[in-house]
A and B are shown apart, each in its own frame.
Chain A
Amino acid sequence: MDPEIFEMENADIAWCPGCGDFLILKALKQALADLELGPEKLVLVSGIGQAGKLPHYLKSNIFNGLHGRSLSPATAIKASNPDMVVIDVSGDGCMYGEGGNHFMHTIRRNPDITNIVLNNMVYGLTKGQASPTSQKDFETPFQVDGVFEEPFNPLAVAITLGASFVARTFAGDIPHMVDVLKKAIQHKGYSLVDIFQPCVTFNKVNTFSWFKENTYLMDDTHNPYLKIEALKRALEGNDGEGKFPLGIFYIKMGQSTFEENLSVYKKDKTPLFWRKVDKNKLKTLIDSKRSL
């Protein structure tokens, strides 16, 4: 499939020139085209922020909901129609800040959706405040003395909660992004893909070259099926120790998905909107209230 199929001819793109989001958009289109997943099959769900606008620039069904809340509709869309491929696209503020509670509990639920987080360690749309993943000492118009909170470690949290697929990639490496995104989308169950991405306007610290210098690609020596190994890797790079690894950290096999656990799909995979009310059953239920 040609990635052109996802082109939005008249889209008025609101990203800054040189933004890492353009590269991620390109990689996502490529990954979807490689997997032969056309626009009609896709639902892109997002919240609010510069990352949350991505679905408007990729031809598909879209649900651009509220800030931080995207995983809730994404989970429900998949649960209501498991035939759809559901991809959540959020930023670090949306997913790890406003949506932190939903992030934790969606991982526990394990719906078969892909959660892409465009992580630039800063708030873009609201102009440069610290995000949950901002590194220490990062100065902003709000954090005038620099950030003193511990940065949120999404990968470690996800691995600890038993997320079924956890990966990190970098906007500066399109082939790596395409490869990781394809594996995440194909993975059955919840997949987190955190994408390091420079914000050219509001983050003058974590730049393209900073990410290049402070990350490394994991090689075959990493076994993503071992939780403790995955956790060790996820802790690297934090507290200024070593570099941040890129690649697939963790894969949990054999876990049933949220949809599979729902009794409604045990016998019949039909999406919910096709299902009718069985009036005879309802009459039986009402009549059951006549006796003890």
Chain B
Amino acid sequence: MLVKPMSMIKLEEDVSLVLCGEAGQGIQSVENIMVQALKMGGYHVFSTKEYMSRVRGGQNSTQIRASSKRVKAYRDRIDILVALSKGAIPHLEKRITENTLILGDEEVLQDMDENQYTLLKAPFISKAKKLGGLIFSNVIAAGALSCIMGVDKEIFDELITLLFASKGEKILEKDLKAGVKGYDIGKKLLDSGRISIKIDKNPAISKEILINGTQAVGLGCISGGCKFISAYPMTPSSPLQVFMADNASEFEMVFEQAEDEIAALNMALGASYAGARAMTATSGSGFALMQEAVGLAGMIETPVVIYIAQRPGPAVGLPTRTAQEDLNLALYSGPGEFPRIIYAPGNFKDALELSHKSFNLAEKYQIPVFILSDQYMADIYYNLPSLDIENLDVEDYLVETDADYKRYILTRDGISPRGIPGHGKGLVCVDSDEHDEEGHITEDLNLRTLMVDKRLKKMDKIRKEAIPGEFFTTSNSSSYETLILGWGSTYWPLKEALLEMENDDLALLHFKQLYPLSSQVGELIKKAKKSVMFENNAQGQMAHLVQMETGLKIDHKVLKYNGMPFSVEEILAVLETLEEE
């Protein structure tokens, strides 16, 4: 029998750790522990999870990247795989290479071909069982990895204490013991000489902010003056609902779990009518239920912010996966014609700032503003030096009403000063029927035309304020052959790929405002010989929108719609083919 020589895995500068196990094995907890432990240990970290819509069984995995450089994107590459279940290796087969070191118990590795895989036994499960249950395998694995990565045991113990103290003294004690076992395993692995890790640590990183995409949006909503959130639970928007509920008391907000999505948006509109900055959060089919009330927002010109964390559809689709499929749904939601804004943040700074801006612009133009995110963006973690809220002010557009106040008084720019009931001497009347200037029902067809024009007129100013997106090249030259386009969560994968290519012929235009598009977009596309749009949907919804808004056809569409985000490697492969063309 040919025996593969003992190979050594050398990890330098940037390591990709992946843990995989069944739902219920606590893979999520490992992610929470590892990102914190690595950041506290002085590494830049990034994590992303992919999981099944089930409470037990299946295969869930999480990727954790630790690096001496900032890392913020999903990669296929796996340097170390911790396999906590038999299904883990088949589940990740396509991403495993001979350079992937697979750690696992004998029972997990026994049927695996040693010629095909680089295997190393590590008793995560057997030690867990001795401690009293399979569930401890997650902390043991986290301990082993932390040890390999050189994270101080004190930091690790502090984390475990923080995470498990609420579960009672007995459980905490066992989890701390699990940590000790994990570090023992880690030491043995290091002593085996099969792993060597050289990544520079920087203690300053331990003081940086570590958040996920959901929290970045939530902080933006709070800074935008959100005072009311009504929503119905739905993955992957639920984490934002949890974040807002958690902070409701501290930031004087009302959080209410509505009986359905229909009530959720109708409540938000009631709150907004009464002067409270209001929002809702939902996903896919949940948003489909809200469409009726999106039309109400348009008709009664009442500000509201709608956060949509996208997942693959139609209908229930893949509840826990990612997609960019609901752009059209947001763009065309609601009967009739009225203005709206759609933002799609691709990084945490934008998530904060655009969410903030959503509230101000919703108030300024009295319209629905959408924040389009997705499962990938909502769940990724990475560290960043700071989030600056100094200039994020709440712009007040409410007026105190006079006795002769008219809610829909016709103005040149279509914006009627917005009063609220109980603030001033006037009465505030809003109506979902076509209405007169006072807000009372009318069937005067001349007035109807004036009111439609008034509402749509607001689009002129909205368009002028449109954000052109972020333009990026690796060279200093302003000319480029190929323009790469993307929106929302593809930001970092595209950027990391471009930085790696270092090809002066390439440029990136990333949209953070999808609608309306800035007039500058057309010019940037015209300058390229070739344009390539990356999207997580099957039809190229943004490419169509760009064509609709600019009249320019996007040459190539790279579409992925299996529920997983684009990896940096996939993008690189596409860019390399383009180069050869």
Say yes or no for A183: interface residue by CB 8 A criterion: no
By beta carbon, the residue of chain A nearest B159 is A292
Contact yes or no, A62 B439, CB < 8 A: yes
State whether A76 touches B430 (Cβ < 8 A).
no
Separation of A77 and B278 alpha carbons in the complex (Å)? 11
Question: With an 8 A cutoff between CB atoms, is A207 at the interface?
Answer: no
| Residues of B contacting A: mostly | mixed
Point out the residue from A11, A40, A101 that lies within 8 Å of B263, measured CB to CB.
A101
Any B CB within 8 A of the CB of A273: yes
User: What is the bound-complex CA distance between A65 and B262, given in angstroms?
Assistant: 12
Which residue of the partner chain A has the closest CB to B262? A69
- B254 near A262: Cβ-Cβ < 8 Å: yes
B293 contacts chain A at the CB level, 8 A cutoff: yes
Contact A271 B252 (CB under 8 A): no
- Does B210 make an interface contact (CB < 8 A)? yes
Q: Is the CB of A84 within 8 A of B422?
A: yes
CB B240 to nearest CB in A, in angstroms, measures 15
Q: How many residues of A contact B (CB 8 A)?
A: 55
Min CB distance B330 to A, Å, is 19
Please tell me if the beta carbons of B441 and A76 are within 8 angstroms of each other in the complex: no
Contact between chains at B432 and A64 (CB < 8 Å): yes
> How long is the Cα–Cα vector from A286 to B247 in the complex, in angstroms?
12
A73 proximity list for chain B (CB < 8 A): 266-267, 269-270, 273
**B332 on the A face (CB < 8 A):** no
Given contacts A61-B428, A76-B228, A80-B227, contact A69 B266 (CB under 8 A): yes
| CB pair B258 A272 closer than 8 Å | no
Nearest chain A CB to B286 CB, angstrom units: 15
Closest to A279 in B: B389
CA distance in complex: A278, B269 (Å): 24
Residues in B282-323 with C-beta less than 8 Å from chain A? 292-293, 296, 300
Interface residue? A116 (CB, 8 A): no
Report the minimum CB–CB distance from B157 to chain A (whole Å). Answer: 11
Which chain A residues lie closer than 8 Å to B271 at the CB level? 76-77, 79-80, 272
Q: Which segment of A23-31, A52-60, A219-227 sits at the interface?
A: A52-60
Q: List 16 A-B contacts (CB under 8 A).
A: A62-B428, A63-B270, A64-B433, A65-B266, A65-B296, A72-B264, A72-B266, A73-B273, A271-B275, A273-B274, A275-B252, A276-B394, A279-B223, A286-B209, A286-B389, A289-B215
Given contacts A66-B292, A76-B276, A101-B263, 13 further A-B contacts (CB under 8 A): A40-B422, A48-B432, A75-B267, A76-B267, A76-B278, A79-B254, A79-B256, A272-B271, A279-B389, A286-B389, A289-B210, A290-B209, A292-B36
List chain B positions with a Cβ less than 8 A from chain A: 36, 40, 158-159, 162, 207-211, 215, 219, 222-225, 227-228, 230, 247-254, 256, 258-260, 262-264, 266-271, 273-276, 278, 292-293, 296, 300, 386-387, 389, 394, 398, 420-423, 425, 427-433, 439-441
Which residues in A have some Cβ–Cβ distance to B below 8 Å?
11, 14, 39-41, 43, 45, 48, 53, 55-56, 59-66, 69, 72-77, 79-81, 83-84, 101-102, 104-105, 262-264, 271-273, 275-279, 281-283, 285-287, 289-290, 292
Which 8 pairs, one residue from A and one from B, show the smallest C-beta to C-beta distance? A73-B270, A273-B275, A76-B270, A72-B266, A272-B276, A61-B421, A105-B259, A80-B274
